[in-house]
Amino acid sequence: MPSSSGPRCRLLGRVPLFRDLDAAELALLARYLHEFRCAPGAVLTQQGAPGDDFVGLIEGRVRVSTDATSLRDLGPGAHFGELALVSPAPRSTTVTALESCFGFRLSRADYLDLCHRRPYLGQKISAAVLAAMAAMIRDLTERISGAERTLRGKA
């Protein structure tokens, strides 16, 4: 993405993860992001493949799945691959485009460089990612608890 505060930075500012960044911070972040476009059916991440980037959606919808199980659909403003920013572990899910998508990728190497060169901005982004991951863990915990209650009721 270009580093100007033009239309693309305004789009980036609509991503909830970055809502606390000001225009100058969005412009700095944009220098590290790589745009992508993909067609319906494109695989954005593959379960088991090395994870090395974080992905944010500006336009389009994707499906997150494991093996043959659909976990959830994501749309504009959503993101995935957060763990790849801090761990080179294999991807835990496959993400497939349901429609044409436009978004950005932030590689682990670029994230670490940003944190080194702009520690305050790196800290703000890290805090936002951690908050998003915490919300996801709470949601998954509730879903697991609900499934356990359902299973106990059937036993």
pLDDT of residue 147: 87
Give the CATH superfamily of 7-154: Jelly Rolls (2.60.120.10)
pLDDT of residue 45: 96
**Residue 16 corresponds to which amino acid?**
P
pLDDT of residue 5: 53
Ordered by start, the domain boundaries in the chain are 7-154
Look at residue 19 and give its three-state secondary structure. Answer: coil
The rounded average pLDDT for each run of 10 residues, N- to C-terminus, in the chain (155 residues) is 59 85 92 95 96 94 93 94 89 97 95 96 92 89 90 80
**Residue 146 corresponds to which amino acid?**
G
pLDDT of residue 155: 62
